[in-house]
Amino acid sequence: MKKMNLVAVAVAASLAAAPALSVEFFGYFRAGTALSTNGTGDANYEKQKVGRLGNENDNYSEFGFRQDLQTGDKNWRVEAMLNNGNSGTNAPNSGGTVGVAQFNVQATGVLGFDKEATVWAGKRYYQRKDVHITDFYFLNTSGTGGGIENISVGNQKLSFALIDDTNSSQDTGKQYYEFDSKTGEKKLVNEKEEVKSYTADVRLANIGLWEDATLEIAGAYNFGTGTASGNTNLKADDGALVTAILHQNMTSGFNQTVVQYGNSSYGAQMADLGNGGSFDRRDDANNDAQGVRVLNWGVVSLSENWEMGHQFLAARSTDAAISSTNRMKSDHDLVSAVIRPMYQWTDSVRTIFEAGAYQENYSNAGNKKGSKFTVAQAFSMGEGFFARPEIRVYGTYLDDRSDSAQLSDKSKKKEFLMGVQVEAWF
């Protein structure tokens, strides 16, 4: 409570110190609830593979504040954001932990050789790339760091960043006894130590191709410098991730084709639907891993009243750890398809359909596959696929055909949900 009060005081003080009406308020949230035939309530069944509509069991919110401060021809953007995520079942005033997702300064016009370039430092959502209908961030190296972005190279824009990615601990080779409060006995535990890890991120955007088509190339290199005590004998190899994004604007919408290649932990992330962050440095299980991912997604207008979004994805990782707990090496393949057609009845009433299916195979572990179908009656503020806020009343059918149970009720393979949800960004 004390920490939360300090955050609230700091935000209030910054707003009070600013000139009136100069602070921009922005954010995102989603919330809802559902009934299920299995009695488990809301579901979150492989939403990045079969689609998120009618398939989310959490509440999530982001509330940001930014102010642009001008000094001559220079602009200093000060930005901060609070976020909160919880199960969606909390009573009022007990909504989980509030975090500080962003706090940074972005200065544009301070470099004499390029007045359009921006120097930044702090904690930031850094040039994230995502597919909205599956909530899949296929490139997201966000974190604490700094860099220079949008340097003009002809018509292209070049960006450099160095971002902290410390998130793993490796065994030190030592052990100690720990008291088990449940059994009342001592147990032997491997001592672990945090590994300092960083991501060097380089991007070249706005590469012109043919009419209304551009290419963006991104490279991320993750390197470790040692443990918290200065031990430089790290078990996990460094890794590289290369991404190419072809963006095609059309008179009726847009389409993106994404090709990615990674090695080491980045190789394992390709079929695991990783995003370039949280490089796994706990051991050497992914040192030989390689992976490739191909993604096509977009939104297209089919007629005056029909629009459709889609995601088609194929990925393969080789010699990769099966999971964070199962470190056995495996080849891992994933294929996924999601479509979301929408019919606009009026400027605020629409009917949305979403169908998705996936199949996932491991060379030496159980395989997974399943599908989902959702129908939602929605009310939105305006027309268009991305018009928000949007209130939805939905029915969802889930069909799990995996070797091991994936639904909340492990004894069931099918589930039907009826629920309501709101989603908004502003």
Instruction: Output the DSSP codes for 180-200.
Output: -TTTS-EEEEEEEEEEEEEEE
Q: What angle do CA 169, 171, 175 make, to 5 degrees?
A: 130
Superfamily of domain 2-11+30-425: Porin, LamB type (2.40.170.10)
Mean pLDDT score of the chain, rounded to an integer? 92
Which has more pLDDT, 115 or 92?
Answer: 115
Contacts of 310 (CB under 8 A, 6+ apart): 133, 296, 297, 298, 337, 338, 339, 340
Tokens, residue 398? 């889930």
First to last CA, the chain: 28
* Per-residue confidence (pLDDT) for residue 228, from 0 to 100: 86
**Which of 96-110, 164-178, 226-240, 309-323 has the lowest average pLDDT?**
164-178
Q: How far apart are CA 351 and CA 369, in angstroms?
A: 27
Q: Can you tell me the mean pLDDT for 353-361?
A: 98
* Per-residue confidence (pLDDT) for residue 1, from 0 to 100: 39
% the chain with pLDDT above 70 = 93
302-329 pLDDT, tens digit per residue, is 999 999 999 999 999 999 999 988 999 9
Decide if pLDDT at 9 tops 70: no
Q: How far apart are CA 123 and CA 145, in angstroms?
A: 6
* Per-residue confidence (pLDDT) for residue 20, from 0 to 100: 45
97-117 pLDDT, tens digit per residue, is 899 999 999 999 999 999 999
Q: How far apart are CA 398 and CA 355, in angstroms?
A: 10
What's the pTM value of the predicted model, to 2 decimals? 0.90
Angstrom CA distances, 423 to 250, 308, 339, 412, stand at 27, 18, 19, 29
Q: Are 419 and 35 in contact (CB under 8 A)?
A: yes
Q: Where are the alpha helices (DSSP H) in 273-387?
A: none
* Per-residue confidence (pLDDT) for residue 4, from 0 to 100: 44
Which has more pLDDT, 409 or 126?
Answer: 126
Tokens, residue 293? 């991912």
* Per-residue confidence (pLDDT) for residue 8, from 0 to 100: 46
* CA-based nearest residue to 292, from 316, 322, 264, 313: 316
57-77 pLDDT, tens digit per residue, is 999 999 999 999 999 999 999
* Per-residue confidence (pLDDT) for residue 189, from 0 to 100: 86
Q: How confident is the model at residue 86 (pLDDT cuts 50, 70, 90)?
A: confident
184-209 pLDDT, tens digit per residue, is 788 888 889 999 999 999 999 999 99
